[in-house]
Amino acid sequence: MDVRNAWDQWPDVNGRFGEFGGRYVAETLMPLILELEAEYRRAQKDPEFKAEMDDLWTHYVGRPSPLYFAERLTEHFGGAKIYFKRDELNHTGAHKINNCLGQVLLARRMGKTRIIAETGAGQHGVATATICARFGLECVVFMGETDVERQKPNVFRMRLLGAKIVPVSSGTGTLKDAMNEALRDWVTNVDNTFYCIGTVAGPHPYPELVRDFQSIIGKEAREQILDREGRLPDVIMACIGGGSNAIGLFHPFLEDESVRMIGVEAAGHGIETGEHAAALNGGRPGILHGNRTYLLQTDDGQILDAHSISAGLDYPGIGPEHAFLRDSGRAEYLSTTDKEALDAFQLCTKLEGIIPALEPSHALARVGEVAQELGKDGLIILNMCGRGDKDVFSVAKHLGVDM
């Protein structure tokens, strides 16, 4: 096995992060992912690619996103200073667009004219549909039937943006089933289609390239905190579904050994109930959707349905790099129940005037304990990866409010 020590040198040439990752796909897709990897290597060396990304990041997405001192939340907990990295202020309201922009630019380089994507909460679907509209590309979004129902505002947004929505009824009609259906579409339309994966999962090189595009979050945050506080943070925190916003924040800090990294998984009704989406805390290694990683599965290797109040975290797996960071001890992974996330959602809204998405509400629910543990001298950055506008209807329902 490869014994490199540098945390940021993974994946290896086989797309592995230690024992995780890889390329577990049907043979039809192998030539495509090898071609994608080759194109990505060329793009990485091409200053024009970087210049185009930077220009659109600045003028279209609205980067850099601010690093905000959450003063009232800090006072509320009475511990470490809490900063929010405000990726919810990006165009389309979440971190997802960082990655979509990169992938669609790659697709254009490869001459692909049709973009497909899977989506859970709809944020990745909206971001993909947005970039496709911007470049005049055909866009097809696969979305679980259950999610189409609970994320109606995003479904309408995608349609307005010109995307075709394909509701997926196979399995349980959630994110994993949408991903299966997107893969089926991809093997069928290999010539003109680019699969824009929304998280740091899938076969190599997706976990690497999605991470690289999302790493803008951590790069900016690192510079901003050094500028504001003159030192590195003690803890950086983010919620985890597939884990793209977390890895985007974590990756540029990996070599800073003093910085603790905390990912927060969705515990749904509680890990002990079996109804959750916490692959690291409640799963074991397996193979799904192109990579080897921690999965929720039965003793017989059948994939279990995840459960979370947040459609964006409702996935039975996790990006392979997180599996690697957990097993190697570089990052810690906690979990938050649906109820705790709802409470944190309301607390942040009232104290900071920021309505967070339900996804980062999972990280918010754990930030108080961490702040108190660190004490007043501590410094925390929490990735506010999405805004909660999309969630107000489902939150109202959970709070028993009739809109």
Partner 1 sequence: MPTERITAAFDRAKVDKRAVLVSYLMAGDPDLETSYEALCALRDNGADIIELGAPFTDPMADGPAIQRAGLRALAAKTKLTDVLALIARFRESDQTTPIIIMGYANPVHSMGYGAFAEAAHKAGVDGTIIVDLPPEEDSPLREEYAKYGLSVIRLATPTTHEARMKKVAEGASGFLYFVSVTGVTGAGSADPAKIAGNIDMARRVSGLPVCVGFGVKTGAQAAEMAKIADGVVVGSAFVEHAEAAHESGDLARAPQGMGALAKELSSAIAGVAKP
Residues that bind partner 1 (CB under 8 A): 14, 22-28, 30-32, 170-171, 176-177, 179-180, 183-184, 187-191, 286-290, 292, 295, 297, 299-303
Rounded-to-integer distance, Cα 138 and Cα 164, Å: 8
Distance between alpha carbon 67 and the CA centroid of its chain, in Å?
19
Q: Three-state SS for 22?
A: strand
When the beta carbons of 31 and 274 are compared against partner 1, the nearer one is 31
Q: Please state the closest distance from residue 198 (CB atom) to partner 1, in A.
A: 16
Q: How far is the CB of 183 from partner 1 (least distance, A)?
A: 4
Question: 3-class DSSP state for residue 261?
Answer: strand
Identify the burial level of 377 via C-beta atoms within 10 angstroms of its C-beta, where 0-12 means exposed, 13-18 middle and 19 or more buried.
exposed
Phi then psi for 29, rounded to 5 degrees? -90, -15
Residue closer to partner 1, measured from CB, 203 or 360: 203
Q: Considering beta carbons, is residue 91 or 307 the nearer one to partner 1?
A: 307
Q: Which two tokens stand for residue 192?
A: 């003109």
Shortest Cβ 169–partner 1 spacing (Å): 10
Nearer to partner 1, 173 or 233 (CB): 173
Q: Left, alpha or beta for 315 (phi > 0: left; psi -120 to 50: alpha)?
A: beta
Choice between 2 and 75, CB closer to partner 1 = 2
Nearest of 141, 71, 95 to residue 384 by alpha carbon: 95
- The distance of closest approach from Cβ of residue 99 to partner 1 in the complex, given in angstroms and rounded to an integer, is 21
Q: Which is nearer to partner 1, 114 or 219 (CB)?
A: 114
Which CB sits closer to partner 1, 252 or 283? 283
| 143 versus 221: smaller Cβ distance to partner 1 | 143
**Residue 284 has what DSSP assignment?**
E
Q: Taken in order 266, 271, 274, 280, is the CA torsion positive or negative?
A: positive
14 within 8 A of 204, measured Cβ to Cβ: yes
CB of 141 to partner 1, least distance (A): 17
Sign of the alpha-carbon dihedral angle for 180, 184, 187, 190: negative
Three-state DSSP at 143 gives strand
* DSSP SS3 for 6: coil
On whether the CB atoms of residues 109 and 49 are closer than 8 A, the answer is: yes
| Distances 366 to 82, 177, 253 between C-alpha atoms, Å | 12, 30, 20
Q: Taking the complex as a whole, how short is the minimal distance between the CB of residue 300 and partner 1, in angstroms?
A: 5
**CA-to-CA distance for 78 and 8, rounded, in angstroms?**
34
C-beta of 306: minimal distance to partner 1 in Å? Answer: 12
Per-residue buried b or exposed e for 235-254, using 16+ beta carbons within 10 Å of the residue's own CB: bbbbbbbbbbbbbbbbbbbb
129 vs 288, beta carbon nearer partner 1:
288
- Using the minimum distance from each CB to partner 1, give the nearer residue, 300 or 402: 300
247 token code pair: 């890895």
Q: What angle do CA 217, 223, 224 make, to 5 degrees?
A: 85
